[in-house]
Amino acid sequence: MIDFLLWIENLSFSAFLRESSSLLSFPIFLYVHTLGMSILVGSAAIICFALLGLWPKGAPVRPLERFYPLLWFGLAIEVVTGVSIFMKDASTYGRNPDFWVKLVFVFVGVALLVMMRKRVFRNPQIDSGLVPRQGKMLAWASLVCWFGAIVAGRLIAYLQPVPGDF
Amino acid sequence: MSENLTLALFVTAAVTVGIVVVALVGVLIDRIFTGQERAGGL
């Protein structure tokens, strides 16, 4: 496993991200990763808040389903920039348990969004203005996952091993 | 309200909420770990 991670880390693209002092290397990837996170988590949060009742009374919730492509756009940005940043120090991030905790939060968060779309937005009950109890539970779980992903992602910078250690 | 305006409002609100949450978490964790060198998170 470590050999594979070191192989990734030694690719020329990884070395460019790690060693270049250009703003167009690691800094821009980290910036875009943060922006993508804002789009993904912000959109998910607003959909969850609406399902939990933070939404104008009488306004239908179902049209929010149209914003799912925005979520997937944010997720695509996260995947591309996240994989790139991982490649930069693959052997370090790959040994950091906190990184895997973050990934679990992200995978569960995405799964919950898919479940929310199938079980809440396609439920005829939602047209009457009532959000099913299951929908509220999914919304709470989704909020916890995305908050957990952000916290775990930030903690990667502090919990051992961090890039530069060996 | 036109569909485009709704979309614009949603995107603005979403990105604002996202940036605020990400920034607050970042500042809070940075404060907890004050003085410790950080190496960049994902």
Q: Do B18 and A37 touch (CB under 8 A)?
A: yes
Choosing among A75, A154, A166, which should be mutated to test the B contact, i.e. which has the most B CBs within 10 A? A154
Q: Do B22 and A34 touch (CB under 8 A)?
A: yes
Q: Do B38 and A158 touch (CB under 8 A)?
A: yes
Q: Supply the pLDDT for residue A161.
A: 86
Q: How far apart are CA B10 and CA B14, in angstroms?
A: 6
* ipTM for this model: 0.75
Q: Show the CA angle centred on residue B9, arms to residues B6 and B15, nearest 5°.
A: 135
The tens digit of pLDDT for each residue in B1-42 reads 566 777 788 888 888 999 999 899 988 888 888 766 565 565
Q: Show the CA angle centred on residue A95, arms to residues B20 and B28, nearest 5°.
A: 25
Q: Do B42 and A63 touch (CB under 8 A)?
A: no
Q: How far apart are the first and last CA of chain B?
A: 38
Query: pLDDT at residue A1 above 90?
Result: no
Q: Do A162 and B15 touch (CB under 8 A)?
A: no
How far CA A134 is from CA of A12, A70, A81, A139, B2, in Å, comes to 48, 24, 33, 9, 31
Q: Supply the pLDDT for residue A63.
A: 86
Query: pLDDT at residue A157 above 80?
Result: yes
Choosing among A35, A150, A160, which should be mutated to test the B contact, i.e. which has the most B CBs within 10 A? A150
Q: Which of A21-35, A47-61, A122-136 has the highest mean pLDDT?
A: A21-35
